Each structure stands twice: as C-alpha cells, then as structure tokens.
Structure 1
Amino acid sequence: MRAVRFEGVGRIAVQELEKPAPGSGDLVVRVEASGICGTDRHILRGEFSSRPPVTLGHEFSGIVEAIGPGVTRFKVGHRVTGDPNIACGLCPSCRAGHVNLCESLEAIGVTRDGGLAEYVLVPEKQALSLPADLPPLYGAFCEPLACSIHGVDIAGLRPGMSAIVLGGGVIGMLVVQLARLAGATRTVMITRQAAKRQLAEQLGATASADPSAGDAVFDICGPGGLLSGGADVVFECAGVPDTVALAPKLARRGGAAVILGVLRPQDRVEIAPLELLLREVRLLTSFLNPFTHARAADLIATGAIDVAPLVTRQIGLEEAPGVISEPPPAGEIRAIVVP
C-alpha cells in the first residue's frame, strides 16, 4: 500500500509499505479521507514530537476492511472514524480523568502509523461508528471537531454569553458553530481574509473583523461596540504569538481566553499579569480531545455541524508531501487527502 512517511525533520515522501494485518482487538480501515493539519507541518519541521519513521495523518475516516480476534462492535463494511489519541489508563493523569495528559500518550499519525495511507490500523476501542450514508469526506473532521469541543467545554460557554474567535482556519470555523449551538448570542470572527470572514458569518458568526484594519478589533470591544467591554470568552485558534497576546485583551472583566492553537516550541508571548489580575481574566489552555470524539462524530453524523464548506480541496496521496511541506495557501481551510 502507499503511505505518506515522515522520515525525519524536513524529510517526507510517499512510500510502498506492507498492508497492516489486524492483531487482537484491531480494525484494518480502508481510508476514505484524511485531513492535512497544521500539526503535520509542525511535525515535519521538528516543532512537534513524533517518532519517525511514521505514517502521518491523525484526522481520518474510512471503511472497516478486516477485523482481528476479539472485535465485537464492528463488522467488515462499517464506516468509522478513529480517535487517534491512545492513553495508557494507568498513569496519575489518566486515573484523574485527564487522558489527554497521559504520561505515555500514543497517537495514530504522530507516534504510530496514521491515516495518510491507503489503510490504517485502529484499535477497536479508538473507533467510532459513522452512518453508512455520510459523505466520506466528512468523517475526517471528527478529530478537529473533538478538539474544538474540548476547548468550548473548558471555556464554560453558556446560553446568552458572547465569544470572539481569533483565526479563520478549521478550528476557528468549528468553534464558531459550536458557540452557536452552545447558545452564544454574539460571536465575532476575527481573521485577515475576507472570504473566511464571510464564511464564518454564513456558519453562525454574528459579525467579523479584519485585525489588520487599524483599531477595528478594539472598536468591537469599545464603548458602543458590538461587544462593549469585551467578550465573555475569547478563543485563540490561530496558533501564532500575536493572537495569543491579543486574546486576553479582548476578554471582558471576569471573562476568559482559551488557547486552542498549536504554537512552535520557540514561540514566546509577552503577558502583563497585572492586567489579567485587575480584570480577573482567566487564561486557559485546551489540548486534544478527552472523551469528546464520540460527541464530535454525533454532531457531524446529524448535520448539526456543517463541514462541507470547510473542504477547500481534495488531493491524492502523491500530492500530500508537497502540501505538507508548504504553508497553506491564502483562503485554505482544509485540504483533504483521498487515497
């Protein structure tokens, strides 16, 4: 089978590998769709821990083609999504319920072979069902949606609250929709690209702003602005130092800023602690998808979250190394690999 292999920093190529065989409790999944995530680019540049040589791809879905001994919940032909994050269940973090912080965390597509391939091996306990009639590309959004759900959970977003979303990538667009479902009365998308601002408003944002347009962002939170005094919650979804520094400044007194974006290890942000203290702004972080993947699969299966407009382009496996090696082009939300 063909697979996109990360061989070391800066080295990625499509290679021929043996098709995986299922062990006890395993599924062999024929991949229908796999998303290219910013984390894949971080891995290639040596900015996110991995274990090469490894097949990338942690956002995937497909059809069960073979099952190993002991599998009881799935049969050949079922469509599934895979939760890539495999916790040990034994360390102090796991026992405390923080499986995303597992001290021995494994991840399909990061530390073990993933979904940028024709086939991927998935432990049964990591698989979740998707409807047979669901468009195949949609299942690849379960993992980023699950991560977004965790961030919204941490924020404690409730009906009647307001939100600002910084960043118009896939996480930002999913958070806009989750904020709508959570009952936020005002949600503002802040991103430089006009097409992304327009899409965010189609998906449920009540307004949008260009951060490069002078004081437009701060006008929203200023006297008489749409969010006078700031937002109840600010979601940082861009993963760049500028937006991390901006997020707490846009939160209201007693509000919160949640960092969802993945930054580089060397990135540093200057924060004025006294400003946070005097306004009692909570600065929170959200990592991975603890116990949220099933909820994500349900939201996509029912159509409560619209992922169709988030597919910017479909590519084949042969194109994937080049796409991962380059920054995403302007306007791109998600490139989906169809093996």
Structure 2
Amino acid sequence: MYRRLEMRALRLIATGDLRCVEVPVPDPGPGEVLVKIAAAGICGTDRHLYLGEFPSEPPVTLGHEFSGTVAAVGAGVSMALGTPVACDPNTWCGTCDACNRGRVNLCPRNVATGIHRDGGFAEYAVIPAWKALPLPAGLGLAQGAFAEPLACTLHGLDVGAPRPGERVLVLGGGVIGQLAVQLARLAGAETMLLTRSEGKQALGRQLGAVATAPTPEAARELWPEGADLVVECAGVPATVAAAPWLARAGGRVVVLGVLAAGATVPIQPFDLLFREIRLDFAFINPFTTTRAIALIASGAVDVAPLISRTVSLDEAAGAISGPALPGDVKVLVDPGL
C-alpha cells in the first residue's frame, strides 16, 4: 500500500521550544499500529509540558488525546485497515508491584504516548495495538478524541463515588469539569459548577448542573452546609486550597486537576480532622477508557458542545504556548487542515 514518507508533527524540542516540523512517517513495529490522526485534543498537561512543569522526554511529538483510523499494522496485528480507533495513551509494564496490585496508573515504568513517546499532534502516530480501541459504528472521530479525558474523569468520579441524592460541587469549567458535571448527574447527584466564566456556567447548566457559582463564597451561600463531594478540576492552587472548605462535615474531596510540579497548597489539618474530610487524588485512567467510549457512543455523555474550535498543526503551537482564549473548553487539532 502506498504511504507518504514525510509528515508534519508538532514536536517539543525542549522546554519552551515547540515547533511544527517535517519528520519521517513512522513504521509500526511488531504489535503496533500506525494511526492516521483525525482529531487530537489540546490538554492543560500539554501546556505544563511546554513550560517544563510536567516531566517528559523531549524531543517528542506531543498529543495524548486523539483518534483516527488504522493505516498500517505491524507483525502479529490482525486489526483491519481503516478501523476507527481512540488511543489509550498509557502503556503500563504489567509486571511491577503497582501493576500486580491492579494499580496500573501508578506503574513507575508507564510509557505515556505524547509524553514519553511520540503522540498525536501529527499526521500519523504509531501506538501499541492493544492501546488502539475500536470506536463503535456511528461515533464520529472528533467525539472519539474525548475518550482519554473522559476516562480520566471517570476514574476521579469512581474515587469520589457520588451517590443518588448527594450534592456534588465541581470546581472548574474546563473540559474535565464539564465532563464531571455530566457524570455526577448520571450518578443521580445534585450538581453545582463553580467557574468565573459566564459562558462556561451556561454550558454547565445545559449539561446538567442545577446551580452555578462564580466564587467559592458564592457557592457556599447557595449550599451553606457544603457539598458531599467536591471535585477539583481546575488544577489551580486556589481551588485546591478552597476545596475542603466547600465540603460538608464528613464530605469527600477528589483532586483531578493537574498542578505544576513543585506547586504547594496550604491546608488546615485540624479542620480536616475535626470535620473528618476525606482528601483523595485521582491520576489518569486505569481500566476506564472502554467505559468512556461507551458513554460517548450512547449519548449519555455529550461531548459535542465541549468543542470550542478546531485548529491546524501550525496553529496548535500558539494555542499551547499562549494563554487559552476566554471561553475555550476543548480545542481540537486536525492535522488535515
């Protein structure tokens, strides 16, 4: 089958050095597939990588939220060419202590596509075949690119375990926050979204939030006793610090947002103790990507309203290195533009 020899890729050359360059189209090795990228989401982690605030191994092609179609397969792979797939970017070793305990997201030898190996901000990417998850018929490739962020959000809600009738307060109106609102609603919880953006407040109400607030103080006025579960999705020290105060006595806090490596947040241990607040963290997506795809395909989670705009590879460099535009929720990269 004819294949191009060169392609464009958005590569992190070093901290603060992000370039769209021509590179060879990679060949899939044994057990791998070559994916023609259709859509790749820009994540806050990509900005952390650009700024050197998250560990990576440059030079590397960024992009860990992506979907596309199988263009070639390596030895031992029977997946049909043209199969639409989403990528689960995390490839754990399967033999370490964490993996043997089922805590695969904590594997110290995890290889993350788009961080430790070349990712999806390119025309093509090679990934392990077992990490290329087929998409159901009728599910658009742009929607398939949300499998990874939804899988991470699912893990956070699994940790927080909202129950019917509880109150869930979601901090942050970005893509993870808007997905968390929907998952909390599906769990039967009464959900509030805290974000300063009026546009994101409106989107949260559209997606199932019964209330919105611009500040922690405003949220506490609406729910004076606090929330049973607070889900921090903003990745900002101020919201992480405020999260325990927003939980009711006996409540839970789950931090999903990614802060810069080395960032610190003040807490009050006496308050956590006296009110018995549970403080948890949720990291990436252990065994949740297949569930995420099913939720998107069924329509139970609506991702279409979360797409703010679609940019080219050349435009993606500025979208990552510069501040997010007001109102942006999810920016997708289409390498075909």
- TM-score, normalized by length of structure 2? 0.96
Q: Which residue of 2 aligns with 1:131?
A: 136
Task: Decide which of 64, 69, 76 is 2:70's aligned counterpart.
Answer: 64
Distance 1:287 1:50 in 2: 16
1:183 aligns with 2:188: yes
- Shift, 1:202, TM fit: 0.4
Structure 2 residues not aligned, in runs of 5+? 1-6
1:100 aligns with 2:100: no
Contact kept, 8 Å, 1:30 with 1:64, in 2: the verdict is yes
The aligned amino acid for 2:295 is L
Distance 1:218 1:134 in 2: 39
Q: Which residue of 2 aligns with 1:221?
A: 223
Q: Deviations over 1:92-113 (max 9, x none)?
A: 1111111110011110000000
Distance 2:322 2:144 in 1: 25
Distance 1:196 1:103 in 2: 36
Distance 1:243 1:129 in 2: 37
- Shift, 1:70, TM fit: 1.1
The aligned amino acid for 1:303 is G
Contact kept, 8 Å, 1:234 with 1:247, in 2: the verdict is yes
Task: Decide which of 156, 162, 171 is 2:161's aligned counterpart.
Answer: 156
Task: Decide which of 196, 216, 231 is 1:192's aligned counterpart.
Answer: 196
Q: Which residue of 2 aligns with 1:225?
A: none
> What is the alpha-carbon root mean square deviation over aligned residues?
0.9
User: Aligned with 2:146: secondary structure?
Assistant: helix
Give the share of equivalent positions with the same residue, in percent.
Answer: 53
Q: Report how many residues are paired.
A: 329
- TM-score, normalized by length of structure 1? 0.95
- Shift, 1:132, TM fit: 3.8
User: Aligned with 1:17: secondary structure?
Assistant: strand
Distance 2:188 2:129 in 1: 34
Q: Which residue of 2 aligns with 1:284?
A: 280
Distance 1:17 1:181 in 2: 44
- Shift, 1:133, TM fit: 2.5
Matches within 5 A, 1:76-87: 76-87=81-92
1:171 aligns with 2:158: no
The aligned amino acid for 2:251 is G
- Shift, 1:266, TM fit: 2.9
- Shift, 1:216, TM fit: 1.4
Name which of structure 1's ranges 106-115 and 130-139 shifts more when overlaid on structure 2. Answer: 130-139
Distance 2:247 2:167 in 1: 10
Matches within 5 A, 1:1-339: 1-72=7-78, 74-184=79-189, 186-211=190-215, 215-222=217-224, 229-339=225-335
- Shift, 1:147, TM fit: 0.2
Structure 1 residues not aligned, in runs of 5+? 223-228
User: Aligned with 2:127: secondary structure?
Assistant: strand
